[in-house]
Structure 1
Amino acid sequence: MNLKSTLRTSLKIVIPLVFGGLLLWLIYRNMDIKAIWEVIRRGVRYEVIAFSLLFGLLANVFRGLRWSLLIDSLKAPHSKTRAVVAVLGTYAVNLVLPRMGEVWRCGVVTKYDKIPFTKLFGTLLIDRISDVVVVGLITFILFFSNLSFFTNFSERNPELLDSFQSIFTSLWVYVCLLIVIAAVWFVFKYMSNFSLVRKAKNMLKNVWLGVKSIWLLEDKPKFLVQTLIIWVCYFMYFYVTFYAFDFTRDLGFHKGLIAFTMSSIAVAIPVQGGIGPWHFMVISTLVLFNVAETDAAAFAAVVHTIQTAWTGLCGLAAILILPLIKNNDKIQE
């Protein structure tokens, strides 16, 4: 690895980490750290949080099974076990390089099962789009059934609303988008004889084949059931932790769902483990539910730290056992 690529990789790690760390510092800098530490020491039922970890692992296992189902639709023999283990390893990679875990898992399956990377990447897009649709639907339903909460949230955090609005109201955003679309059209229309353009076309065709995996699925109900299980488990992964603290245990299912949705939105920001954005969204939400700010901060610190460490450890274990999975393990359903 040359100096330039080393520097580029280092920046990919450091910049998101610095951003998350800075946001974390801004969130906690004016809080009573001693009061937060007292909650962490004496006010947490850690056995309850330990129980919640099982739901996180189960959700990621089913994510791996769902991805394997998409790969099945490509008629490509592969190891279902490896697909699950690769998905678990994704989260460990993402803790170092945000969003690179998805690329890594496609690369792993390509290496061992000899399936074209671009086709796998197409299935990965469907995998992620499915999750965006689920979070979007939940957010949409909660938004219109809890307008007062979202109104209060935007009033307390006007800078978030302003930033979001600026993306859609800025003329430059649309100008740049049109320029990119025009440039791509021109290249593929008038430069199709260039070998690089032909390779790009072939790559996009393979990606599209992977994307079409959702239509080629022979058992679509199973895909939907697995998606439902994944998100029920993710919710339980978060909600069970409410019972580890006296100040959240009585908030109830509905408020738990709102807090879970806000935390899920935060995870979309490309920062290692959602460090910073996750804390901000969860603390801000709990405060609106009349939880003291120091208590909310302690909740976020404990839950995020333990669950992130758990995800990382499971991912690291998965990476270590990947070479031990036999290549002839072709478990198909």
Structure 2
Amino acid sequence: MRNYQQELLNIIFLLNLLILKSHLQSTKTNFFGTLLKYGVPLVISVGLCWLLFSNDDIDLAGMMEIVRRECDFRWILLNLLLGIMAQVFRAARWQIQLRALDIRPPFRQLVLSIFGTYSVNLVFPRLGEVWRTGYIAARERAPFTTVFGSMVADRLADTLTVLILLLLTFIPAGAQLREYLGQSGGALARISEILGSPLLWGFVIAAMAAVWFVFVRFPEHKVIARLRSIISGLWKGFAVVVTMPGRGRWLIFTVLIWSCYIMSLYCAFRAFPLTAEVLVIHGPTALAVCFVLTSLAMGVPSNGGIGPWQWAMIFGLTLYSAGVAGLTHEYALTFANLVMGVQTLMLIVQGLFTFGCIAFSKRSKPLSK
């Protein structure tokens, strides 16, 4: 199974390079670019799910029996409710940024935009953020780049939060994580080698110097002028976080968002007796490791995290399976698939609700500020 994981990581790395290349190409729509943006994530999701079930030892009937016999769906319901609360808090946090830009959509519309974002990402990965930006910008007749900049700041805050949690997690569990990564084909050593490569940093510096030269040498060129305008709008939406009123409330909502996510996973662990036993034996460290790994897995281009999330969860539970009798690969797979399955179903329901509300509001009255 470890060989499967290593080959899959290599494939994902190459596919990410292809996606990056497509984003750097012309903005003109082409079949190849569309295929890379939307086809590749779908292939990754399907491929990872296929690998999850391709093992001859997997018994679907046995997995269903585990769910029927051991799952306490009351904890799963709490898991879903906390996930919804996190999305509502995210809308409240974004509202603070938008008000600082004098963009004032109703809170209800912001909640719908967040609901719709995750639902769109199920079908078109990475397009959900663009959709919510366009929806709010069009509804409020606001500059798209400014709204998009505020969304980028919103997502950057999440990235920084995950990195902080990763660093905090490595304090109690770093040795165990390094040992596992070392057994998985030297992944940690290769990452360190790449980040420490003079060639990589030389290329980064050369690219930044070339961009700076072009902007200074040809400031009046129409393409450069357009890029400056876009960058200015993005920066306006991004930098408002530093100067806006309500920064304290913004930080509180950030804490509430991630507290909901962590407690949501805690509730999922409590739904199964063996994963609950992991919490009893290993404490919050096990929960933190699994949470960070699954959060990082959401960065892999896929449809709503389907596939990468399960792999990351199984990976995390494997680190703590030795002290829990019965926590087999099949049990971990059952747990991961059920949690991801009910969350995906929730996002589908949210999407139907969101776009139904939007369609009804358009039919009732024209969009206006």
Q: Given the two structures, how large is their TM-score scaled by the length of structure 2?
A: 0.82
Query: Residues 69-105 of structure 1: CA distance to partner in whole angstroms, max 9, x if unpaired?
Result: 1101112232222122111100011111211111111
Cα offset for 1:329? Answer: 9.2
Query: Residues 296-324 of structure 1: CA distance to partner in whole angstroms, max 9, x if unpaired?
Result: 11111111111122123213321321244
How far apart, CA to CA, are the structure 1 residues paired with 2:272 and 2:92? 33
How far apart, CA to CA, are the structure 1 residues paired with 2:99 and 2:29? 39
For residue 309 of structure 1, what is the aligned residue in structure 2? 345
Matched, 1:190 2:190: no
Which residue, out of 81, 94, 99, partners 1:72?
A: 99
8 Å contact 1:90–1:101 — kept in the other structure?
yes
For residue 297 of structure 1, what is the aligned residue in structure 2? 333
For residue 39 of structure 2, what is the aligned residue in structure 1? 14
**Structure 1 segment 78-157 matched on structure 2, within 5 A:** 78-157=105-184
Matched, 1:45 2:110: no
8 Å contact 2:45–2:306 — kept in the other structure?
yes
Cα offset for 1:327? Answer: 7.5
For residue 250 of structure 2, what is the aligned residue in structure 1? 223
For residue 357 of structure 2, what is the aligned residue in structure 1? 321
Amino acid at match of 1:73: A
For residue 205 of structure 1, what is the aligned residue in structure 2? 232
Report % sequence identity: 30
Matched, 1:266 2:291: no
8 Å contact 1:40–1:298 — kept in the other structure?
yes
Query: Residues 44-82 of structure 1: CA distance to partner in whole angstroms, max 9, x if unpaired?
Result: 223321231001111011101111111011122322221
Cα offset for 1:207? Answer: 0.8
8 Å contact 1:45–1:244 — kept in the other structure?
yes
- Cα distance change, pair 268–11 in 1 and its aligned pair in 2 (3 A): closer
8 Å contact 2:317–2:332 — kept in the other structure?
yes
Query: Residues 141-178 of structure 1: CA distance to partner in whole angstroms, max 9, x if unpaired?
Result: 11012223212331342354255335414455334423
Q: Secondary structure at the residue paired with 2:277?
A: coil
8 Å contact 1:79–1:329 — kept in the other structure?
no
Q: Secondary structure at the residue paired with 2:304?
A: helix
How far apart, CA to CA, are the structure 1 residues paired with 2:123 and 2:214? 35
* Structure 1, 25-34 or 220-229: larger mean CA deviation: 25-34
* Structure 1, 5-14 or 198-207: larger mean CA deviation: 5-14
How far apart, CA to CA, are the structure 2 residues paired with 1:121 and 1:268? 19
How far apart, CA to CA, are the structure 2 residues paired with 1:184 and 1:11? 26
Query: Residues 208-252 of structure 1: CA distance to partner in whole angstroms, max 9, x if unpaired?
Result: 111111022211110111111101111122110112112111222
**Structure 1 segment 231-250 matched on structure 2, within 5 A:** 231-250=258-277
* Gap regions ≥5 residues in structure 1: none
Amino acid at match of 2:334: A
8 Å contact 1:36–1:294 — kept in the other structure?
yes
How far apart, CA to CA, are the structure 2 residues paired with 1:185 and 1:4? 28
Q: Secondary structure at the residue paired with 1:275?
A: coil
Which residue, out of 57, 74, 95, partners 1:32?
A: 57
Q: Given the two structures, how large is their TM-score scaled by the length of structure 1?
A: 0.90
Matched, 1:281 2:312: yes
8 Å contact 2:145–2:234 — kept in the other structure?
yes
How far apart, CA to CA, are the structure 2 residues paired with 1:268 and 1:151? 21
How far apart, CA to CA, are the structure 2 residues paired with 1:5 and 1:320? 31
* Structure 1, 193-202 or 225-234: larger mean CA deviation: 193-202
Query: Residues 236-295 of structure 1: CA distance to partner in whole angstroms, max 9, x if unpaired?
Result: 221101121121112225122221121111112121121222111110111211132111
8 Å contact 1:64–1:88 — kept in the other structure?
no
* Structure 1, 169-178 or 59-68: larger mean CA deviation: 169-178
Amino acid at match of 2:181: S
Amino acid at match of 1:300: A
Amino acid at match of 2:232: K
